[in-house]
Structure 1
Amino acid sequence: MPIRFRFRLIPFVVTVLLVALGIALAQWQTRRGDQKQLIETTLLQRQVEPTLDFNAAIRAAPAPDVDQLEYRRLAVRGEFIPAWPVYLDNRPLNGVAGFYVLMPFKIAASDDYVLVARGWLPRDPADRTRLPSYPTPAGTVEMEGLARRDFGHVLQLGDAGPLRPGAILQNLSVNDFAAASKLKLQPFVIEQTSNAEDHLLRDWPRPSLGIERHRGYAFQWYALAVMALIFFVVTGFRRGTKNSNKPAGQQSG
């Protein structure tokens, strides 16, 4: 029995599109996994470095290199500015909806400030705008935390609204906060890790979280591309075989 392949244009085009889509999405997931693997490697390297006294560092280099600071543990002396809190929404913790409490921190013996994520608060299920109270340390304190380039980005739902003290936002950049508050901010943020007895939770998500998930998604998209190609080839041979078995007068062109 002769084995023939019957080429069909429309299935061929669909197969090419599915293969291209599968490869493109697989490569995107692979790149995301590689990015998070690089973050994990950097985290592990900088975890063994001693905590950096940022007050001394800023005196030596007023314009710090964010690439060198990111994921470093910092100790900063200064005072919180409780008149300018803002809250990042859509930041769940252990499945509970809540906010990150953000507040500027004036660096001692300097006119510079740094934006600090102080911790997490649960959201009131009945009234999104009602926030539980939390104390703010008064006067000069020493605070420790992890330097981050930003607070991450979540899907923006609706208009952001005006940036003002007490605003509830979904995303925030350092530049936007500096423009609204008129404060001279450092070009990075700090996730506070030191305890301040302020009722805020500081179980920060690891920025490299999800490496294996991205690897798994990449495998699935590559598998889709392979399956689409195999399906096209197998069905083509089947149709070719069926047509070859028909009497000559019944075969269509």
Structure 2
Amino acid sequence: MSRVRFVVVSVATALTMAATASLGLWQLDRAAQKTALEASIRARADLPAWGNGELLAAPDRSAALYRPVRLQGRWLPQHNVFLENRQMDGRTGFFLVTPLRLSGSEQTVLVQRGWVPRDFNDRLRVPAVDTPAGEVRVQGRLAPPPGRLYQFGEAGTGPIRQNIELAAYRLETGLPLLELSVQQTGDDEGPLRRHWPLPATDVQKHHGYAFQWFALCTLVAGLYLWFQIIQPRRKSNRRNGPEDAR
């Protein structure tokens, strides 16, 4: 029975160590992937800015996310959307999203123009933001469509919304929207704040998880050595000691 128990414990220990070590290596691999992604994002952010022509001609725009752009077009303020419960610099307010019709084309792109505070005394009050008429130049960077927050029920259709769903918004407005957005950069403009951080990749989180898995693997190995090898030998030596003395 003692021999069988030793074999069972040894097999279980080996499997546990293999699993925890594999999970630690997987977390390190995830960290390496995210480090490479972060480097790619920062490299794209340093590329020359695209204009209208380069943006419209790009075969795979999703591969150019976070690349700078300098676009020309006309604002369509009748389709303004204020996304609520959005944070910037630790404050909660709205992200103002306005479609921009690109000059020389019918194509339109959603522009996240910046963050504005909301009136907490009148939650239905839309902030007053100046929207220039005529052709404008917009400096920014390509980005995914505005991130989704949890909401109860379906997205609304008014000027204040929790989320904006690109497909539904395209049907609602009839606009030929590109499958991405632009985060407008540059100086703050009136109430608009434009302190957009690059996306965080949480590499440190994966390093922390890897340390925990490797620590657990080491703990299992230490417990096995102590209870299955060291402690039984010490007991055996104590039992055999008096006999050897006689």
TM-score by length of 1: 0.72
Bigger relative contact order, structure 1 or 2 (CA pairs below 8 A, ≥6 apart):
1
Once residues 166 and 117 of structure 1 are traced to their aligned partners in structure 2, the CA distance between those partners, rounded to angstroms, is 14
- Matched to 2:113, the amino acid is R
CA gap of 1:130–1:37, structure 2 versus 1, over 3 A, is farther
For 2:36, the equivalent position in structure 1 comes to: 38
Runs (5+) with no aligned partner, structure 1: 248-253
Query: In the alignment, what sits opposite 1:92?
Result: 87
Report the CA distance between 1:160 and its aligned residue: 4.8
Deviation readout 1:144-188 (Å, 9 max, x if unpaired): 11012333455x2x4253342414225x45334323332111121
- Contact 2:27-2:206 within 8 A present in 1 as well: no
Q: Aligned AA for 2:184? A: Q
Partner residue in 1 for 2:208:
216
Map of 2:159 onto structure 1: 166
Q: Which amino acid aligns with 2:67?
A: R
Which one has the bigger helix percentage?
A: 2
In the alignment, does 2:54 pair up with 1:57?
yes
Q: Tell me what 1:201 maps to.
A: 193
Residue 10 of structure 1 and its aligned partner are, at CA, apart by 9.2
Distance in 1 separating the partners of 2:165 and 2:16: 38
1 CA distance for matches of 2:201 and 2:33? 11
SS at match of 1:42: helix
How far the C-alpha of 1:224 sits from its partner, in A, is: 3.2
| RMSD of equivalent CA atoms | 3.8
Query: Gaps spanning 5+ residues in structure 2: where?
Result: 240-246
How is 1:79-118 mapped onto 2 (pairs within 5 angstroms)?
79-118=74-113
Query: Do the aligned partners of residues 94 and 81 (structure 1) sit closer, same or farther apart at CA in structure 2, a change above 3 Å counting?
Result: same
Rg larger for: 2
Work out whether residues 68 and 139 of structure 2, in 8 Å CA contact, stay in contact via their aligned partners in 1: yes
Please report how far the alpha carbon of residue 71 of structure 1 lies from its aligned counterpart in structure 2 after TM superposition.
Answer: 1.8
Change in 2 beyond 3 A, CA 1:124/1:196 = closer
**Number of aligned residues:** 237
Q: What's the offset of the Cα at 1:103? A: 1.8
Given candidates 114, 117, 137, the residue that maps to 1:119 is 114
Task: Give 1:118's aligned amino acid.
Answer: R
Q: 2:104 is aligned with what amino acid?
A: A
Residue 116 of structure 1: CA displacement?
A: 1.0
Cα distance change, pair 128–44 in 1 and its aligned pair in 2 (3 A): same
- AA partner of residue 157 (structure 2): R
